[in-house]
């Protein structure tokens, strides 16, 4: 059945600046460089500020969404004073301890990667040596109600609710580290700041990049949100987790076919010197705005269906093992 073509609402398209979002993102550039501050950064830092404001204002018309993004929403404690003396422990011990702490304080995923310039937007510097990446799962029944509307904003509310949970985890963990005498800064979403979280979360072993431009985790699929803590606490890095979702994506077209404005492509694109799956920003954002954050591509991804990701990961790893046998 052919899909009715999506016609973008001028409410959003009229606010596009005189530059493509794909150009700002470095689509087609062959040199490796840091990403430019863009959507979800302070409007003064990029040319899409007016469009970003309209997307946010349109979402906040819904009282349920507004409530979850309000200043009263439960987003965790403020940073405490750093303790004057550092508690000395081996890096392995600290790593186990901070993971146990994050998982005991509402986190579902946690991984560690060394800080790299590659994870920082242009114009930002961070003095810390480590990034602790955190993931919190979303309720798939709520997410599956995407696209959100004023009458049924369930998916958008779930996204906001889980961003608040991710915020609580990183703020609690940050204070735990400060209480041990080490520097730490929490990085909650959804608004971006210094950190480009997806590449850091991939390096920390939280999952792989999917064709929909978001991550796929071997337990939660694409049904999770990120936050982070940067710190000087001595830690041990986790490795990447390759469980075969890249191969799966190569053969799957569920998200490309489900995306109403056709913003996803079956082919990888060159972006700032790296070939990867890419979301066409200019096509996605008007629909994203109208659908209050959209998330259709995350909801339809087969890895996101509860209980499916571990099974698919097992299948993909077995297939790889069979192929590697002589």
Residue closer to ligand SF4 by CB (options 181, 302) is: 302
H helical segments located in the chain = 10-13, 21-24, 49-60, 63-68, 91-104, 140-143, 154-179, 197-203, 245-251, 254-258, 281-290, 296-300, 308-324
Tokens of 225: 């949100």
The single residue listed with the structure tokens 């490796």 is 32
Beta strands 224-231; 269-271: pairing state? unpaired
Residue closer to ligand SF4 by CB (options 140, 211) is: 211
Residue closer to ligand SF4 by CB (options 254, 270) is: 254
Residue 200 binding ligand SF4, by CB under 6 A: no
Question: Using CB under 6 A, which residues numbered 91 to 110 contact ligand SF4?
Answer: none
Question: Using CB under 6 A, which residues numbered 231 to 250 contact ligand SF4?
Answer: 248-249
Residue 317 binding ligand SF4, by CB under 6 A: no
Minimum CB distance to ligand SF4, residue 29 (Å): 21
The single residue listed with the structure tokens 């999952």 is 207
Alpha carbon distances (Å) from 296 to 35, 87, 150, 175, 313: 25, 46, 16, 35, 22
Residue 212 binding ligand SF4, by CB under 6 A: yes
Q: How far apart are CA 197 and CA 134, in angstroms?
A: 10
Among the listed residues 287, 290, 292, 309, the single contact to ligand SF4 using CB under 6 A:
287
Residue 288 binding ligand SF4, by CB under 6 A: yes
Q: How far apart are CA 195 and CA 126, in angstroms?
A: 9
Q: How far apart are CA 217 and CA 77, in angstroms?
A: 28
Residue 202 binding ligand SF4, by CB under 6 A: no
Residue closer to ligand SF4 by CB (options 224, 287) is: 287
Residue 254 binding ligand SF4, by CB under 6 A: yes
Stretch near ligand SF4 under the rule CB under 6 A, chosen from 10-18, 40-48, 107-115, 293-301: 293-301
Residue 220 binding ligand SF4, by CB under 6 A: no
Residues counted in the chain: 326
Minimum CB distance to ligand SF4, residue 214 (Å): 7
Q: How far is CA 19 from the centre of its chain?
A: 24
Residue 264 binding ligand SF4, by CB under 6 A: yes
Minimum CB distance to ligand SF4, residue 223 (Å): 11
3-state secondary structure of 119: helix
Residue closer to ligand SF4 by CB (options 39, 121) is: 39
Residue 301 binding ligand SF4, by CB under 6 A: yes
Residue closer to ligand SF4 by CB (options 8, 181) is: 8
Tokens of 216: 């796929």
Among the listed residues 51, 201, 255, 309, the single contact to ligand SF4 using CB under 6 A:
255
Tokens of 67: 């409530």
3-state secondary structure of 224: strand
* Non-local CB neighbours of 249 within 8 Å, separated by 6+ positions: 210, 211, 216, 277
Among the listed residues 35, 37, 111, 210, the single contact to ligand SF4 using CB under 6 A:
210
Among the listed residues 279, 292, 309, 313, the single contact to ligand SF4 using CB under 6 A:
279
User: Which residues sit at the interface with ligand SF4, rule CB under 6 A?
Assistant: 210-212, 248-249, 252, 254-255, 259, 261, 263-264, 279, 284, 287-288, 294-297, 300-303
């Amino acid at each position: 059945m052919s899909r009715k073509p999506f016609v973008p609402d001028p409410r959003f398209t009229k606010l596009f600046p005189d530059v493509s979002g794909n150009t700002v993102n470095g689509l087609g550039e062959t040199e490796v460089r840091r990403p430019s501050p863009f959507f979800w950064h302070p409007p003064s830092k990029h040319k899409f500020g007016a469009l970003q404001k309209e997307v946010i204002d349109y979402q906040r018309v819904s009282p349920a969404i507004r409530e979850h993004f309000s200043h009263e929403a439960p987003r965790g404690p403020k940073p405490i004073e750093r303790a004057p003396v550092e508690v000395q422990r081996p890096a392995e011990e600290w790593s186990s301890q901070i993971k146990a702490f994050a998982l005991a304080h509402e986190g579902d995923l946690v991984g560690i990667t060394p800080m790299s310039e590659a994870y920082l937007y242009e114009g930002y510097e961070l003095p810390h040596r480590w990034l602790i990446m955190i993931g919190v799962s979303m309720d798939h029944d709520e997410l599956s109600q995407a696209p959100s509307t004023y009458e049924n904003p369930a998916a958008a509310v779930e996204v906001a609710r889980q961003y608040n949970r991710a915020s609580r985890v990183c703020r609690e963990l940050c204070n735990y580290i400060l209480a041990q005498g080490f520097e730490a800064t929490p990085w909650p979403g959804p608004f971006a700041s210094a950190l480009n979280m997806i590449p850091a979360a991939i390096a920390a072993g939280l999952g792989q990049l999917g064709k929909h431009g978001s991550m796929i985790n071997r337990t939660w699929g694409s049904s999770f949100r990120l936050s982070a803590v940067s710190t000087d606490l001595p830690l041990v890095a986790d490795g990447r987790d390759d469980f075969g979702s890249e191969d799966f994506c190569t053969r799957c077209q569920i998200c490309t076919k489900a995306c109403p404005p056709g913003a996803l492509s079956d082919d990888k694109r060159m972006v700032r010197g790296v070939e990867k799956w890419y979301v066409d920003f200019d096509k996605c954002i008007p629909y994203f705005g109208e659908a209050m954050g959209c998330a259709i591509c995350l909801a339809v991804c087969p890895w996101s269906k509860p209980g499916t990701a571990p099974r698919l990961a097992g299948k993909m790893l077995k297939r790889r093992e069979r192929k590697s046998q002589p």
